[in-house]
Every structure is written in structure tokens, then in C-alpha cells.
Chains A and B, each alone.
Chain A
């Protein structure tokens, strides 16, 4: 069964304290892995798509990496405005339906 697991569930960081969020997945075949950011009361905002192991993408303080079993979202020197829930989703090659993890709630304190 296709599955996505995110850890930790919640993460508290001090401003400037770098860390990583994990997304582990099992899927029969991977079309793509997606990272989204969701603020309270809003829809998910697209961040990255990764298609193959070894691929990396960066955007400001965020960097996403992909292996055959997991993806990491690295946050470098986070700021309070990076506080949000980060969602990971995979698109199996058997479907066009995203399979979401339960998310990581990130709080960055000033």
C-alpha cells in the first residue's frame, strides 16, 4: 500500500536554528514527490517537485532532497515567518491522486 510518513509531527526552533523535516514514503512507482507549505486557514502553497533520487531543489532558506525512500526539507537559518505546516505528498505512477503525509507543524520563535 502506498504510504507517506512525516516526522516530526511538530518542531520548535529558535530563529536561526537550522533543521530538517523528514518524509518517508513507500510507493510502487514514483511519478513525483511534492512539498507544500500550509498556513492556518489557507490552502497549501506549492514549494517543490522532485522526480528522481539525487535531485535537489532550493528556494530561499529551503532545500529539498530526494532518495529512493525519503525526502528531506532542510531549513537554513529559519525566521518566524517560516512558521507553518509543511506537507509532503507523493504521486504514484498508477494514479494522478496525491497521497499526503500528516504534515510537520513548524514553529520558529524569535
Chain B
């Protein structure tokens, strides 16, 4: 149980284009999902918190117009990187909090974004 999937696992795009990453909770409902970014050999950096049916809450320094988050259902959240630039290249990971559980967050496998 408690499986979170992400799609795609890897994506390469050209500078100036937009990329959408999907995060799904496969066997549980998640009213809250989180998006993280991870640089090589560093820990996870929280970008935003998304709650189903409401606007995402972004961490300080994260551009909400560049990183669009939509949490349209209890099992799906999407992150769209708009007008991507090489500095947006990173490992993006989502997590989901099981509504029926206590506080555990379960993480997806991550998406490697490379902007050329």
C-alpha cells in the first residue's frame, strides 16, 4: 500500500518550453500533496504544498508563475514548469499524505528534468 507514482520519470525539453509532471496516489486518497526539488548530493527542498480543490501554497523564493501546481482530485496533482530554462534542470519529487493515516508522507519516484 501507499504507492505514489510520477510521470514522466525523465524528460528533456528545450529552453522556453513548458513541461508538466504528474503525481498520483495509486491506492489511497491524498488531500495534501507536496512538491520538492532536489539538487545533487543535497537534501529535499520543499517548493509548495497543494491541497485538493484549493490554490497551492508556495515556499518563499519559489516563483508561483513559473511552477504551476494543480491538485484537481484526491489522487492527482500536477506541476507545470513554464518557460523552462537550464537552471530549472533538477530532480523533482512529489509526496502525498494519506488522508486516512496520521502524518506519514509517501514519496513518488521522482522526475529528472533536463532543459537544453
Contacts and interface: CB of A to CB of B under 8 A. Distances in A.
Interface of A: 31-32, 34, 36, 41-46, 49, 87, 91, 96-98, 100-103
A31 B103 contact: yes
Interface string B96-112: 01000011111111101
Contact of B107 (A44, A96, A97, A101): A44
B44 A100 contact: yes
Interface residues of B, number: 24
Interface string B28-41: 00001010000000
14 contacts: A32-B102, A41-B110, A43-B95, A44-B93, A46-B2, A46-B104, A49-B103, A49-B104, A87-B44, A96-B32, A96-B49, A96-B103, A100-B43, A102-B43
A96 B33 CA distance: 10
B60 interface: no
B54 interface: no
Interface in B33-81: 34, 42-44, 46, 49
Given A43-B93, A44-B93, A46-B2, A98 B112 contact: no
Contacts of B44: 44, 87, 100
Contact of A32 (B6, B91, B103): B103
Contacts of A34: 104-105
B110 A42 contact: yes
Contact of A43 (B32, B42, B103, B107): B107
Nearest to B101: A49
